Amino acid sequence: MKILKWTIISVGLSVGLTAFAGSHASIQPGLWQFDYKTTVTGMPFAMPARTSTQKKCVTREEAKKIWKSASESKGENCQYTDLEKTGNHVAWKMKCTGNSNMDGHGEVTFEGSTAYHGKIDMAMQDEGQAMKTHLEFKARRLGDCKDK
């Protein structure tokens, strides 16, 4: 379903785009919670905002490369431009090709190495249908990972 595809791409890009900022910031390993709220407009039917929460135990190795692997995992090829970094805040523009052609911009604010939040606005054309999405995201470290 196209909506599900768009939501998955949006969520993946939210993490991947923080990669752009992530090259200048690091996160601590441990148990993290990721919260997302996605709003899509331009659909032929009304679609309510979708929220989701994920928890993940991020290892030391994953913390070092989580941004890069997340951005590459959805099969999109994104070029980032107009990077503006001020203190703990990063903003950018991007253009993606691959499974879908998309243009957009985003921003992320890091709260030390244990939390961040941001938003992304994207526009795409898919089979003649113009769609826009607004994604808000936040992540925070909850503590150490529990042994399984």
What pLDDT, on a 0 to 100 scale, did the predictor assign at position 18? Answer: 47
Average pLDDT by consecutive 10-residue portion of the chain (148 residues)?
46 46 67 93 84 91 61 60 86 80 88 90 82 92 86
The pTM assigned to this predicted structure is 0.74
Query: For 23, phi and psi rounded to 5 degrees?
Result: -70, -15
What pLDDT, on a 0 to 100 scale, did the predictor assign at position 76? Answer: 58
What pLDDT, on a 0 to 100 scale, did the predictor assign at position 31? Answer: 95
Q: Please, how many CA atoms are within 13 Å of residue 84, restricted to the half-sphere of its CB?
A: 7
What pLDDT, on a 0 to 100 scale, did the predictor assign at position 130? Answer: 86
What pLDDT, on a 0 to 100 scale, did the predictor assign at position 115? Answer: 92
Rg (Cα) of the chain, in Å, rounded?
Answer: 15
What pLDDT, on a 0 to 100 scale, did the predictor assign at position 78? Answer: 74
DSSP 28: -
Close Cβ partners of 18 (under 8 Å, ≥ 6 residues apart): 67, 108, 116, 118
What pLDDT, on a 0 to 100 scale, did the predictor assign at position 69? Answer: 43
DSSP 47: -
Rounded CA separation 47/41 (Å): 7
